[in-house]
């Protein structure tokens, strides 16, 4: 026989207007949270600038030689400049091997130095990089995010796309993939949607710095919604529970994770 446990499910939500700009100043009553289609009572609501831990993963493969990598570096530094003094960041270099070239910290000088030292070489192990970037943020409490800059598709990762999606779902870390170039990645779009992040396809790499500033602004304006599921979670039983967050105000869009997996003991 299964026993029930009380738990609070936390959901970070980002709200934007028709122009994609983050919307601040909403109240608890502006949100509706559904779990498996059933409305939940939101008992925790915070609208504040929480400290943030971000993994910034930069594609430094051979295809990035020249202007592409130079613009990616400018964009990465633009993102770092938008962070608050208590916000942590780590720099992940994507190549044949995935390397954490600057560990999670508030040390902007170390992060900028790591970015400046990136050279273009190797292949593009994107899947492996996404998993490593997610895992790098997990020791931190509070808000976490992964920002990914790449001009291509995965090549020679050990992890599959399905493994990446499953890992992202379990981690509850919003992912912001930024793809620049001709190819629009459906995988990136799916990854962003299920994690509660946002996908950007930039056809002109010169727009990368503005795109990264936009992501930083969005991460500064997140809402924390918490609820105890109306149908208690049973110990010893693993199941997927879908989450849907709505905003009761016309013209606004909300992004949040799409659900969570209950765990076996």
Query: What are the pLDDT tens digits along the chain (265 aa)?
Result: 445 666 899 999 999 999 888 898 999 999 999 999 999 999 999 987 788 999 999 999 998 998 889 999 999 999 999 999 999 999 999 999 999 999 999 999 999 999 999 999 899 999 999 999 999 999 998 889 999 999 878 989 999 999 999 999 888 899 999 998 777 789 999 999 999 999 999 988 889 999 999 999 889 889 999 999 999 988 878 899 999 999 999 999 999 999 998 875 4
Architecture, CATH, for domain 52-220: 3-Layer(aba) Sandwich (3.40)
pTM as predicted: 0.91
**Both structure tokens of 174:** 């919003």
* Interatomic CA distance for residues 216 and 261, integer angstroms: 28
Number of CB atoms found within 10 A of residue 67's CB: 10
Residues 6+ apart with CB under 8 A from 24: 47, 221
* Nearest CA-CA partner of 69 in 88, 94, 38: 94
Give the pairing type, strands 42-47 and 222-227.
antiparallel
Domain limits, the chain: 4-48+223-261, 52-220
Number of CB atoms found within 10 A of residue 86's CB: 11
| Per-residue burial over 143-166, b = 16 or more CB atoms within 10 Å of its CB, e = otherwise | bbbbbbbbbbebeebebeeeebbe
């Amino acid at each position: 026989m299964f026993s029930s446990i009380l738990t609070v499910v936390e959901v970070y939500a980002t709200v934007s207007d028709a122009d994609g700009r983050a919307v601040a100043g909403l109240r608890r009553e502006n949100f509706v949270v559904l779990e498996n289609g059933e409305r939940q009572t939101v008992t925790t609501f915070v609208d504040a600038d929480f400290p943030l831990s971000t993994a910034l993963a930069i594609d430094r493969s051979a295809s990035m030689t020249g202007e592409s990598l130079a613009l990616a570096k400018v964009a990465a530094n633009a993102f770092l400049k938008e962070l608050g003094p208590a916000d942590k960041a780590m720099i992940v270099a994507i190549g044949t091997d995935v390397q954490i070239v600057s560990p999670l910290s508030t040390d902007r000088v170390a992060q900028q130095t790591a970015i400046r030292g990136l050279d273009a070489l190797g292949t593009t192990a994107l899947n492996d990089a996404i998993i490593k970037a997610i895992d790098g943020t997990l020791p931190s409490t509070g808000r976490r995010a992964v920002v990914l800059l790449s001009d291509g598709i995965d090549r020679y990762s050990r992890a599959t796309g399905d493994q990446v999606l499953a890992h992202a779902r379990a981690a509850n870390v919003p992912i912001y993939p930024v793809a620049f170039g001709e190819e629009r990645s459906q995988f990136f779009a799916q990854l962003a949607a299920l994690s509660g992040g946002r996908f950007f396809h930039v056809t002109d790499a010169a727009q990368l710095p503005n795109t990264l500033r936009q992501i930083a602004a969005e991460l500064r304006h997140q809402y924390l919604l918490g609820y105890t599921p109306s149908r208690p979670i049973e110990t010893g039983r693993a199941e997927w529970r879908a989450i849907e967050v709505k905003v009761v105000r016309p013209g606004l869009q909300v992004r949040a994770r799409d659900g969570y997996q209950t765990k076996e003991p």
